Amino acid sequence: MVESAPPSPLDALAAITCVQAGLVTRGQARECGLSTRQIDGRVARREWVAMHPGVYRVSAAPLTRMTIAVAALLHAPPGSVFSHVTAARLLRLGVRLPSGDVWITIPHESTRRSGPGVRYVRSRRIEGFTQSAAGHPATSVARTIVDLAGALGADRLRAVLYDCLRSEKVSTEQLRIAASAVSRRRGAGVLSQVLIALDDRLDSGLEAQAVEAFRAVGLALEPQHVVLDGGREEFRIDFVDLATMVGVEVDGAAYHSSADQQERDRRRDRRLAALGWHMVHFTTEDVRRRPAAMARSVAQIVARRTASP
């Protein structure tokens, strides 16, 4: 049996840059078979562009946010992982924080200091709290939420938790274990308090934000109410005021954006109207950007239906 020839240095390099956003380290290039002279020659000819000492971008590769992040990680000490805002973005946790920096958690014994565009966070508890995110090492979903809990605050943290729990990206047990591992951090305490108050009847973080808005205007709506249509069909409504038969739907884009989904919503609303319900729909933008106006609108409808004979 003829053995296949090992990949050429160029093929080996191409395989590395393909999974590293167009990047390669000096050490990796040497392992592929390039000499120091060959590496320096590529840098001198601008075929490779230095991103950090010993970290190069192939000039043909675009300079993207991901390239900048991976370059910072390749320059970080061994055992480092993406964390905080960067990990949240890669893990698609729906976290919105005004930070354009690359966040990396590094082993506690490292003396590496943060610099422009890169934030290093030292930690003794990295092992056991990592996972792959977009093909790169990152803090786990649970650990990322704990790390960001203090910066998010209770309301935004609650919304993130509902979404992550519903999509099964994380469990409450994983969150508690991660919080216990870094219990001295401010975020661990905030997370513990929010976990205690979670309402398992709510279906998403968007609904949790809507609840806060309704409470602010004195509305105590029942979440996830099921209406039976003569035993033939059942309809689940996001929020209801039973006394006035007002139903409120929060239409997140993931489940209400397609033409088919919108047509199903209209058919359902017509059937509910025939049963005596007054249905009101709000969008993600209404909940996130205009929560007070949304809540006042519902309160006015409830008040009018209450006053009607």
Q: Mind giving me the DSSP string for 196-218? A: HT--TT--SHHHHHHHHHHHHTT
DSSP-based three-state secondary structure for 225: strand
For residue range 175-187, list pLDDT tens digits in order: 989 988 887 777 7
- What is the Cα–Cα distance from 58 to 68, expressed in whole angstroms? 13
Sheet holding 55-58, edge to edge: 23-25, 55-58, 48-52
Class of 205-307 in CATH: alpha beta
Whether 256 shows a pLDDT value over 60: the answer reads no
Split at pLDDT 50, 70, 90, the class of 231 is low
DSSP-based three-state secondary structure for 131: strand
Chain centroid, CA 155 distance in Å: 15
For residue range 131-156, list pLDDT tens digits in order: 999 999 999 999 999 999 888 888 88
DSSP-based three-state secondary structure for 102: strand
Whether 97 shows a pLDDT value over 90: the answer reads no
Give domain limits for the chain: 9-61, 76-196, 205-307
